[in-house]
Amino acid sequence: MPTIFNSVEVRADRQLSLPQWSRMSVQVEAERQLYRACAAAAPGCTSKAGIAWQTLLESMRGQARLEQVRTLNRFANRIPYRSDMEVWGKSDYWASPLEFLRRTGDCEDYAILKYYSLRQLGVPASDMRMVVVQDTVRNLAHAVLVVLVDGRLLVLDNLTNAILPQERTPQYVPYYSINEEARWAHLDRTGTQLAAAGVTRSRSR
């Protein structure tokens, strides 16, 4: 996988994953039976949004990856944004796909829904990462999904339906990235962690 946002990446073991990711991953495993029920529109799926999601994924099987990421980005971005404090009464909560579809959420939750959607479609974890960045234009922390498509890293962002190569998002300075396999810190060429000093606690859309 190409280097994310032209940084120096330092990989940590999966066991050093973030607590938010670990909790969310456990929730995803608990939901998998519901995903299957929603795909079949079976009585076990009580979520209309879950049925719409799984129906969309079934319709996308076999499509080119670029078309899949475009469709998923548009689908997820239609969901209204709400802050974690509004939804969960917490400053930072990473929702599973069904939690997000039921209650909405913030930037990490859009990225997580897109990530697990693409995983269901067969995209390997090694080709994707959720990246927490500093948005230097808005001076806010933000999260996006980065996906390898035809040898390029494309950015799926809840702020836009456009799928942009990472070279066209210079306002994003990576702090860390994560997937099912590991977590990475991102350093500049001097070995300093990028965005570490500048990441604000204010969350972006």
Q: What is the CATH number of the domain that holds 183?
A: 3.10.620.30
Tokens of 205: 């859309």
Sequence-separated contacts (24+) of 111-115 with Cβ below 8 Å: 111/143, 111/144, 111/145, 111/156, 111/158, 112/24, 113/76, 113/79, 114/69, 114/72, 114/73, 114/76, 114/145, 114/156, 115/145, 115/179
Average pLDDT over residues 101-119: 97
Residue 24 belongs to domain spanning: 4-187
The predicted pLDDT at position 199 comes to 43
The predicted pLDDT at position 16 comes to 63
pLDDT band, residue 191 (cuts 50/70/90): low
Domains of the chain: total: 1
42-51, 166-175, 188-197, range with the lowest pLDDT: 188-197
pLDDT tens digit sequence for 59-109: 999 999 999 999 999 999 999 999 999 999 999 999 999 999 999 999 999
> What is the rounded CA–CA span in Å between residue 49 and residue 56?
11
Phi, psi of 143 (to 5 degrees): -135, 140
The predicted pLDDT at position 96 comes to 97
Whether the CB-CB separation of 140 and 200 falls below 8 Å is answered with yes
Question: Is residue 60 one of the residues assigned to a domain?
Answer: yes
SS3 per-residue string spanning 139-187? CEEEEEEEEEECCEEEEEECCEEEEEEHHHCCCEEEEEEECCCCEEEEE
Question: Is residue 144 one of the residues assigned to a domain?
Answer: yes
Mean pLDDT over each residue of the chain, to the nearest integer: 91
pLDDT of 197 over the 90 cut: no
Question: Is residue 58 one of the residues assigned to a domain?
Answer: yes
> What is the rounded CA–CA span in Å between residue 46 and residue 186?
41
Question: Is residue 199 one of the residues assigned to a domain?
Answer: no
Question: Is residue 146 one of the residues assigned to a domain?
Answer: yes
Question: Is residue 192 one of the residues assigned to a domain?
Answer: no
Question: Is residue 64 one of the residues assigned to a domain?
Answer: yes
pLDDT of 49 over the 60 cut: yes
Helix/strand/coil for 9: strand
Question: Is residue 63 one of the residues assigned to a domain?
Answer: yes
pLDDT tens digit sequence for 136-176: 999 999 999 999 999 999 999 999 999 999 999 999 999 99
